Each structure stands twice: as C-alpha cells, then as structure tokens.
Amino acid sequence: MPQPDTDKKSKALEFFKDWSNYLLVTTVAAIGWVAEHGDHLDSKLRHFCIVALGFSAIFGIFTLALVPLVQEARTRLQSNYEVPVSFWFWPALRWLLPKKYRSGMRLTWMCFPQHVLFIAGIVLYIFAQWRR
C-alpha cells in the first residue's frame, strides 16, 4: 500500500533532521580539533577556519530549530523546503528582505550556509596544512 504524500514528506524531513544533526556534531568536533591541534597552522588561516566552522554550527542550530516548525506549518501540498516559518525575532528582521521573502524563513536559508561554511572550514584547514 503506497504511503500518503504527507508521510513521505515527514520521513524526508526526518532524514533531513538526522543529516543536519550529524553535520552539526561533526562541525563541533572539527572546531575542537582545529582549536586543540591547530597550533602549528598559519594563524590567520586557523582563525578563518574556526570562524567558518563556528558560523556553520550556528546555522546548523537554526536549521535544527526550524525542522519542527516546518513539520507543524507544512500543508499537504507544500514541500518541506518551501514552508515559510519564523522565530520570535523574525518580524524585526524581515524588513531587510524583498517582499516575496517576508512571509518567513525557509529551511534552505539555514542549511545552505551551514553546508557551505562547513566545506569552507574544511578547505581552509586543508590549505593551512598544505602551506605548513
């Protein structure tokens, strides 16, 4: 018997949450690794690496915080990635955005920077190791 669409979307959101959680744990471990074992690295690159990984962790926390809000707000016809949701501080920030984005945040607004900054932090670490 085929699953209803909403069950598939809920399962996909669960996989997304698990992946974001694993990435967040890995990011925190990478921050600890660079902070503890990065004394031999170029100072500037090490700092940029820690900053990139730190912001990745922040976006990861916000990504995980959005997951239950998306689950509650999603309608039957909406994709997980197009559901507008907001935190308590959203009304104060939304005036900065174009009108079509003022209804709320999307999951991709948090998970994309999380992934890009994690990759940037890893690349910076590799580059710092290579320059050594």
pLDDT in tens, 52-102: 999 999 999 999 999 998 998 888 888 888 888 876 666 666 667 667 666
The total domain count for the chain is 1
From CA 129, how far away is CA 36, in angstroms rounded?
14
Q: Is 103 contained in some domain?
A: yes
Domain that holds residue 91: 26-131
Residues contacting residue 50 through CB under 8 Å, at least 6 positions apart: 31, 34, 35, 38, 121
Q: How far apart are CA 125 and CA 49, in angstroms?
A: 6
In the structure encoding, which two tokens stand for residue 44, read together?
């500037």
Kindly state whether residue 7 falls inside one of the protein's structural domains: no
- Asked, for residue 12, whether it belongs to a domain, the answer is no
User: Bridge-partner residues for 85, per DSSP?
Assistant: 105
Q: Is residue 40 part of a domain?
A: yes
In a domain, 32, yes or no: yes
Q: Does the residue 1 lie in any domain?
A: no
The answer as to whether 6 is a domain residue is no
Give the CA diameter of the chain: 59
Instruction: Give a yes or no: residue 112 inside a domain.
Output: yes
Could you tell me the pTM of the whole model? 0.84
